[in-house]
Amino acid sequence: MPHSFDIAALGEAMLEFNQTRPGEPQYLQGFGGDTSNAVIAAARAGARTCYLTRLGADWFGDELMALWRREGVDAGGVERDRQAHTGIYFVTHGEGGHAFSYLRAGSAASRMTPEWLPRERVQQSRILHVSGISLAISDSARETVLEAMRVAREAGTLVAFDSNLRLKLWPLEVARQTIAQAASLCDYFLPSVEDAAALSGMHAPAAILDWAHALGAPQVVLKLGAEGALASDGRRRERIAGVPVRAIDATGAGDCYCGNLLARIARGEDLFAAARYANAAAALAVQGFGAVAPLPYPREVEALL
């Protein structure tokens, strides 16, 4: 089957309200949802993209549909639900960094099911991108994500998986079991070092890579935040140094990394070249507010490399 898309992403998209200054009750409206952020980052990087989700038939959902149109993300795989709402979340900032508060219980995305899954869009894509958040928001969403991964593998579509661990959504032991299952179904496992440490009980990056490969993931990128990343294809490992920048808001930086990494892989770059590019893209993204607005374009990334 010919590929209509470079990257399909599946998950929950949300409206974001991001605190402008610590302690002040003023918020900038923006957009979020980890896999939506990632697919927009990929679209800005030049990839042909589509998004698969369910939204409420509400103003929040209208805003997200308009966002994807502006960003060139195909939304033909999005279904509107008149019985459920679109999720929203708030980002607050303090000395300890940023914190999230969610209003997503019973959201339209949490009601996705394997029967709803737009299988043909998964099959028509070079890469499917999914995350641990979508595995955690409901039992039916979990079944849908795992089914999408199986459909992708049967079709020869590569699978990328960001663990994106949120312990407010599910117990650690359940997360460990389910994320291990998902990692065994993916081609690219893209955890943060904080997620991987919690999931594996290990702290040394080299040991974490061994753990990730042992789960069955052939290619792994361990995101190290300001310290950069560590990439491994099972034979070779490369440490990619962080780019010194003045970080304003790290919301969505990991999603930016994933989207840019996958866009470069879809272009034919190897894991290590793509990881270096994504590292620079994420460094640019943390210099602005919100998950989507500061996502960079190739000319900005290339100027930093």
pLDDT tens for each residue of 261-279: 999 999 999 999 999 999 9
pLDDT in tens, 47-106: 999 999 999 999 999 999 999 999 999 999 999 999 999 999 898 988 887 788 888 899
Instruction: Report, as residue numbers or ranges, the catalytic residues.
Output: 255
Global model pTM greater than 0.85: yes
- Per-residue b/e over 22-45, b at no fewer than 16 CB within 10 Å? eeeeeeeebbbbbbbbbbbbbbbb
Q: Which pLDDT band holds residue 249 (cuts at 50, 70, 90)?
A: confident
- SS3 state of residue 161: strand
Alpha helices in 137-247 (DSSP H): 139-155, 172-184, 193-200, 205-214
Q: Among residues of the chain, what percentage have pLDDT more than 90?
A: 87
Tell me if residue 274 falls in helix, strand or coil: helix
Kindly list the structural domains of the chain, giving each domain's residue range(s) and its CATH number in brackets, ordered by start: 5-11+34-53+115-300 (3.40.1190.20)
- Residue 168 vs residues 172, 176, 193: alpha-carbon distances, Å: 10, 14, 18
Task: Give dist(CA 246, CA 57) in Å, integer.
Answer: 39
Average pLDDT over residues 222-232: 96
Return the pLDDT at 291: 87
Query: Of 155 and 30, which is predicted with more confidence?
Result: 155
3-state helix, strand, coil in the chain (%, to 5): 40, 25, 35
CB atoms within 10 A of CB 171: 10
The answer to which of 22-31, 115-124, 214-223, 225-234 has the lowest mean pLDDT is: 22-31
Average pLDDT over residues 9-27: 92
pLDDT at 97 (0 to 100): 79
> What is the pLDDT at residue 98?
79
